[in-house]
Amino acid sequence: MTTTYLPPIGSVWMRVKHPHDIVIVKGYNTVAPSGDKTVKNNVIKIHKVNSNTPTIEILHMFTWHYKLLQQGEQQ
């Protein structure tokens, strides 16, 4: 899945590359190089379930290495 939109806060994703891990999107942040004011929300705050650690992921890298976990079939 490659996209440029921000994943919804609270959504659950699975790392598709090894090691496999499940992460929860906790929020967004901005890391702007050299005072570039045009960059907004380019970092995603995530919580890794496997290691119980908060971390960040750059937006384009996150969407490359993770896929959204889908809900089960509705009955």
Residue-wise pLDDT for 20-61, tens only, equals: 899 999 999 988 776 677 777 789 999 999 999 999 999 888
Distance CA 13, CA 64 (A): 12
Whether 21 maps to a domain, the answer reads: yes
Domain count, the chain: 1
Helix H or strand E encompassing 64: helix 59-65
- Total-model pTM: 0.78
DSSP class per residue in 2-59: ---SPPPTT-EEEE-SSSP-EEEEEEEE---GGG-TT--S-EEEEEETTTTEEEEEEH
Mean pLDDT of 12-24: 90
| Confidence bin at 2 (pLDDT 50/70/90) | very low
State which residues form the domain around 32. Answer: 12-68
Asked if residue 28 belongs to a domain, the reply is yes
